[in-house]
Amino acid sequence: MITLTLPYPPTVNTYWRSSVVNGRVRVRVSDKGKAFRRNIIQLTRLQIRGMEPLDARLKVVIEMYPPDLRLRDVDNISKAALDGLTSAGVWLDDALIDDLRIIRREKVKNGKLIVRIEELKLKDKPHETDDS
């Protein structure tokens, strides 16, 4: 099992930015989102030096320690964190995650995430089909 400590991510509302270019809406990661991703890459690489990216079906448990007592949707913290871990090379793609759990914990100064990752031992991989 891999355990990582990460900073608390920006809100979904500040992670994405949209603009209209030539009459089409373009959605991109905001500057705040890009800074968070760079931070995740740096911190993760320090915690898992030399590890090859995981290429297996995965279970990921995120313990969310919010920075304050505001009411928050737990699912809003996963996108930035999982994309950052993909960019950091923890796994080949976050599409490998079959079991994702997010647990709200108590408030801590500045907030943080504890992410636990383990490979699943599956007989049948859910993304494959048998057409024989």
Evaluate whether residue 14 is within a structural domain. yes
Higher pLDDT, 30 or 98: 98
For the chain, how long is the longest CA-to-CA vector?
Answer: 55
Domain extent for 35: 2-119
Evaluate whether residue 132 is within a structural domain. no
Predicted confidence (pLDDT) at residue 35 exceeds the cutoff of 70: yes
Please give the C-alpha separations between residue 111 and each of 14, 64, 66, 122, in angstroms, as whole numbers.
16, 8, 5, 34
Tokens of 84: 């950052």
Q: What's the structural domain count of the chain?
A: 1
Evaluate whether residue 125 is within a structural domain. no
Evaluate whether residue 109 is within a structural domain. yes
For tokens 């048998």, the residue is 130
Evaluate whether residue 129 is within a structural domain. no
- Say which CATH number the domain at 101 has: 3.30.1330.70
Tokens of 70: 């505001």
Evaluate whether residue 82 is within a structural domain. yes
pLDDT tens-digit map of 17-30: 888 888 888 888 88
Helix then strand count (H, E) for the chain reads 3, 6
Please give the C-alpha separations between residue 103 and each of 16, 32, 48, 78, 113, in angstroms, as whole numbers.
23, 24, 23, 11, 10
Evaluate whether residue 114 is within a structural domain. yes
Q: List 99's β-bridge partners, or say none.
A: 59
Higher pLDDT, 132 or 76: 76
How much is the pLDDT for 131?
54
Evaluate whether residue 92 is within a structural domain. yes
DSSP 15-74: HEEEEEETTEEEEEE-HHHHHHHHHHHHHHHHHSTTPPPB-S-EEEEEEEE-SSSS---G
pLDDT tens-digit map of 101-127: 999 999 999 999 999 999 998 665 555
Is the full-model pTM beyond 0.85? Answer: no
Structure confidence at residue 130 as a pLDDT band (50, 70, 90): low
